[in-house]
Structures are given as structure tokens and as C-alpha cells.
Structure 1
């Protein structure tokens, strides 16, 4: 039964960003309500590689991904569309863990500290310094603040008239788990004509394969298996993978209309975190860490404001927008540039040739899409 008392904060969306923000705020004695449409655990379309940059924050939340079996990852392999490989060490390193396990780990930590409602939010209004949140189940909840953590693309984005929703996106993403002999310390990125596919091991020793492709190229085939055989398998690494790997899922998970358009960190006084604030191109392999980092930025800023008793809503919105841009705009810009290079045959060929001659430039590029060194 829902607690009808007005909340300090409502978090809409229980992915990595929503869960970590809620956990940090609840640990600091704020009345938090998290609303998530799906019960835990569940699989999500995601690369399932996480940069070590967020380990200190997770430690402060008393969350240990390695207790759930996360695999330590220190190496990166990338191939061009012909399958020519390039291998480097990752500057920070990271870990591999499924969203099935990671989200559930965070949920288990949060459920005794905050109210959690499994429902879909249909409407959010703000009037006289108070939010009203209406769910599909006809719950009406009130709060002083709302955090938007509802992912890449949501009906709420339409309700809020967010600009990026007016533009169609040419991308779709496909993800599945496989049994396959793959090094547990490596994350790989294999390119093909109309996209790229990431491979890494998760806590259960299966390989997560997640790829992004243009809808235009997929539409020619209209079938995932055929598309993989005709397009992805032109890369010898992916050809061998899909021939030898044993699928774990009955069928792959898919999402369409994956948008990389610019978004605002604050909309209608709602603080956006995770993919709701901005989505980095998956080839950067850092979406999960960025989601958690954005939750850290907002929650720590929020806690600091209230600790010092100097709350001003407009000032808080401006401060968060500035901090979000300072942390992420450069990464997103680099991601868009790398995407353009890899999707252009000539530019990609030149880029790979340069990287093979001077392999040290690859870690430098990786650093531009990742945060500072974990301590």
C-alpha cells in the first residue's frame, strides 16, 4: 500500500541512474519514492561493461558489484569491418556485469531504505512548488522534487514535449547472451558495414553481445538471424562468434528509435539523469558508468545544498545543468565524432591505419569518453 505522505523526492525510473540516486538520497534521510514499471530482476538492452570510474561512488553506497560476480576487465579489442584487430590496455579498466544482476543488486540495497512502487508514470505536473505524479494504476503522489531517470525514450518524454522526440532516430539495438569461449578480461568492439557489436563477459560467464545498427540496413532483411548472417558476419570475428556461440535467450532483446539527439539536463523543473539527460554512443562503452556518474553529480549537489541550508530551486537547476555539461558534453561530443568516423568507410580506414601505426592514440581517445581515474 502506498504511503500517502508527501515525499521529499520522487525518482521516476529504476535503472542504474535512478537506483543509485535514490540510494544516495535515502541513505541521507530524505523520504524517497522510486517508481519503476518492471519488477526486478530483468534483462535490458545494454552493453554491460562498466568503467571503474564509478567504483568509489558505489563503495560509498556500500554496493560491491564483485560480490555479485562481476568480471574485472583490463583490455580492449577493436576490429574494422574486415576484422583486422587492434588490442590495447584500458586506461582505467572496468568490469562486466549484466543489468539483470546489477540492477537487482542495487534494488536489494534500496528496498529497505525507500518506498518502491512498480507502476508506469503517465503524468507529471508542477504547481506552487510542488510536483504531482500520476501513475497508470491511478496513484497520485506529491513531492518537492522529481528526478527523471526513465531511460532513452519514454512516453513521459512526449508528455513533457521534449524536443528530441520530434525527430526520428535511424538506430536500433539488439542484445542477447551466449555461451562462448571469450577472454573474461576483455571488452571487444567489432565493426560491420552499418554498425558495431560489443562483446564482454558477465557475472555468469556468458558473453553479452549487444549491437547497434541502422534501421535502414536492417529493414532490407527484416529478420535478426538473417541480418546477422548477411551483414554482421562480413566481419570474420563476428562470423565466427555467431556460428559458434550458443544463444541463452529464446530470442534477442531489441529496442528501436535509439536517439543520440541533445537533451536538456533539466526539463519542467525535473532533474534528468542517466539516458534521460543524454545518451552517449555505445561504441564508447561508457553508458552505464555515465548513468551512475550523473546520479552522483545530482545527488551530491542536492545534499550539499540542503546541508548548507541555501536552497534556491532555480539556482539548483542552473548548478546541476552546469555541472552536467562540464562532466559530459565533451564525452558526448567525442562519441558523436567517433561514430561519424566509424560509419564512414574512408574515414574509418584512415583512422584504423593511424591507430595501428600509433596504437597509443587509442587509450587517449578512450580517456576522452571516460571520467577521471578511480581512487
Structure 2
């Protein structure tokens, strides 16, 4: 029996789910957003956001700089052998903690009329005239359409028989905030054996450290502290930062089972957004922007469908085509860069080559980022 009905069901209250919910609620549609975890909360995240999504965020009523965001304009890459290369970021971005971004978007979503359901969704499926979601207490919810924005991996991926979920995911990641000296205009990427660590400023004078590494390298160590002291500190630039900063968390927060395999952006009539649709290697520094941009794409197509401008079939086809056009090249370039970073000799040769042709580094950065779009274009398919 259908207990609750709405125009749109959104599974997951991260960046993509919150942005899409606000957008659709502003357009006058009934939105149910399912998120069992309370706000605010810390998440493993690089916390650098490209300026490409700044106009869209402002159109939702959220200006990051009203909440302490730090403008970032420069990029630094360091190698374990001590060499480094730097460049101006072609588009630039800003640093703001996931903690603050999600909390402020959550508040805006509530103000816009999004209804939050604090129950875990255990099954989703399509219906001839919409979609349904079943929660852990047995309640069934119906929507004219739905968005899947529940993160990197979930029991729902198993239920949908998504191919990537059964393949080995050989990456883990961790994050912490620290205090100390660090150039506020800089996002730095420090290579080490089996992984890399991103460092950038966020609000309140904090520095965000976030690393990703292969599980094969990590499992050789007793714990996160030993891994950081031995592997991350093998990069002299990163060791200097670690020695000169004070961790503000009792211990780093971490996640495992990270997969960068392809994921279809549409499953069983659900539009997949953010990490649920595809995860870019963090070295590209643009996962948060991709989540926000995918929410914009999904909301635009859903508004056209809910107004009766396009059919359900066109909704699915349009979103998938727009998603692939927007993100496929970014994901491909991210995978290429990750393979280079995984091999010390390859990364050393790449750094040497980039030093010989400095223009190549900004070119690569542009391939993993979108373009700055005027505000009105974020509401067009």
C-alpha cells in the first residue's frame, strides 16, 4: 500500500541530494528526501570545490563565502623525491568543509519545503507511473520520479544488481582537519607510495588533509597513525606539513571499499547523482563540484518532465546523455592520472615532462573541470 506520495523521492542527503531537493522545491514540487544520518557531520572529502558551480549554489540561496569559504587559485604537485611543480588553476575554486556545506544546504532545504525522512531506504524500484522506495520499518513511499544520491556504495546497489558492486574495490581514504601554517590560496597534491594526499584551507583557519591509498599498501601497517607516519611522511613536503600542523580530530575519519568503476547514470527509472552515478579520482580535485553539477542536470530534466514538457522516456535519455557529455571525459582523465600516480617512475617522468612544457598542467586541470556557467544556464538541460 502506498503510504506517502510526492512528486520526487530523493535517496540520500549529501551534496547532490540536497541541491536537487532545494532546486525542485523552489520550483514548487513536493520532495521527500531520505537521510537516516543527522546533520551536521564530517565526511571523508577533499573539501575543494571548483568555481564552476558557484553561480548554481548562489541561485539556490547559498553563497559559500558568507560561511567562511577560502578562495583558492593555485595548484601544487609534489613528488616523493622532493621535486614539485605548480600552476595557476584555470578556473579557481574555494575551500569549505563538507560539514558546513551540508549543514547550510540542509537548512535551506528545510526552508524550501523539502520533507526529510530519517529512515534508511532498503529497496527501490520503478513502477509504470513512477518509482517506489521501501524503508527499514516497512513503509512504502511513491514518487512520480526519483533521484538516487546515496553515495559511493550501498545495499541498494546490490538490490539493483549494479555491476560495479561485485567487483573488488581496492582503495581506502581518510581525512582530518589541522591547524598550522599553509598558503590559503593553494590546493596541494602530495604523492606517496600507493596514493596521494590533498591539502587545502577551509573555514575558521583550518587545514583539510585528505588522502587516498590502495588497500594493498595500507594493510601492511597496524593502523592509520602508523600509515601516516611511515607512508605519507615519505614525501618530504608532506612530512614538513605533518610536523608543523596539529590535528584537530581525535583520529582521522576513514572509509574503505572505494570503487572507481563505471556506473550507469540511470537505473530502474531512477536518476543517479553524485558518487552514486560516478566517482572521479580525488587527485582531480573535483568530486564535490561534480555532485553539485549533477544535481543541477537532474533537477532541470525533472522539472521539464513534471511540467509535462517531456516524456518519461525522454527524461531518462536526456539525463543520461547530458551526464555522459558533462562527466565522461573528466572520469577518463582522472583514471589516466591515477594510473600515472600509482607508479613512482611514471609519476616522476610525468613531472619532468610537465616541467618542460608548463602549459600542459593547466590543460590537464581544465580536462577534469567544467566551465563557469552563467546562473541561468544551470537551469537548462
Q: TM-score, normalization: structure 2?
A: 0.95
Superposed CA deviations along residues 49-72 of structure 1, whole A, max 9, x for unmatched, are 000000111121121111111111
Q: Secondary structure at the match of 1:294?
A: helix
Counterpart of 1:338 in 2: which secondary structure? helix
Mapped to 1, the partners of 2:126 and 2:301 lie a distance apart of: 21
Residue 370 of structure 1 aligns with which residue?
A: 369
- Residue 231 of structure 1 is matched in structure 2 by 231
Please, which moves more after superposition, 107-116 or 276-285?
107-116
Q: Give the match for residue 151 of structure 2.
A: 151
**How far off is 1:4 after superposition?**
5.0
Looking at structure 2, the residues matched to 202 and 138 of structure 1 have their Cα atoms a distance apart, in angstroms, of 41
2:36 aligns to what?
Answer: 37
Aligned to 1:276: 276
Task: Provide the secondary structure at the position in 2 that maps to 1:199.
Answer: strand
- When structure 1 is superposed on structure 2, of 124-133 and 233-242 the one drifting more is 124-133
Preserved contact between residue 274 and residue 292 of structure 1 (Cα < 8 Å)? yes
In structure 1, C-alpha distance between the alignment counterparts of 2:154 and 2:82, rounded to whole Å: 36
- Aligned residue in 2 for 1:23: 22
- Which residue does 2:241 correspond to in 1? 241
Q: In 1, Cα distance between the equivalents of 2:127 and 2:100?
A: 38
Q: Is the 8 A contact 2:49 2:93 kept in 1?
A: yes
Distance, in Å, in 1 between the alignment partners of 2:340 and 2:227 is: 23
C-alpha deviation, 1:254, in angstroms: 0.6
2:175 touches 2:210 (CA, 8 Å); kept in 1? yes
Equivalent residue of 1:146, what SS?
Answer: strand
- Give the whole-Å Cα distance in 2 for the aligned partners of 1:118 and 1:68: 26
Query: How far 1:138 sits from its partner (Å)?
Result: 3.2
1:202 and 1:83, CA in 2 relative to 1: closer, same or farther beyond 3 A?
same
Q: Is the 8 A contact 2:175 2:252 kept in 1?
A: yes
How far is the alpha carbon of 1:283 from its aligned partner? 0.2
Secondary structure at the aligned position of 1:257 is classed as strand
Whole-Å separation in 2 of the counterparts to 1:126 and 1:366: 38
Q: TM-score, normalised by structure 1?
A: 0.96
Instruction: Tell whether 2:328 aligns with 1:329.
Output: yes
Deviation of 1:205 after TM superposition, in Å, equals: 1.2
Q: Indicate the SS of the match to 1:372.
A: coil
Distance 1:260 1:87 in 2: 27
Residue of structure 2 equivalent to 1:215: 215
Deviant stretches of 4+, over 6 Å: none
Task: Please give the alpha-carbon distance, in whole angstroms, between the structure 2 residues aligned to 1:287 and 1:224.
Answer: 23
Tell me the CA shift for residue 189 of structure 1.
0.3
Report the aligned-residue RMSD: 1.4
Q: Does 1:170 align with 2:176?
A: no
Deviation for aligned residue 1:325: 0.4
Answer whether contact 2:125 2:132 (CA < 8 A) is retained. Answer: yes
Extract unaligned runs of 5+ from structure 2.
375-381
CA drift at 1:350? 1.3
For residues 273-312 of structure 1, the aligned pairs below 5 Å read 273-307=273-307, 309-312=308-311
Equivalent residue number for residue 313 of structure 2:
314
Unaligned runs of at least 5 residues, structure 1: none
Cα distance 1:374–1:125, how it changes in 2: closer, same or farther (>3 A)?
closer
Deviation at 1:13, TM superposition (A): 0.3
Distance in structure 2 (CA, Å) of the matches to 1:244 and 1:223: 22
2: CA distance, partners of 1:226 / 1:374 = 44
Give the aligned partner of residue 260 of structure 1: 260
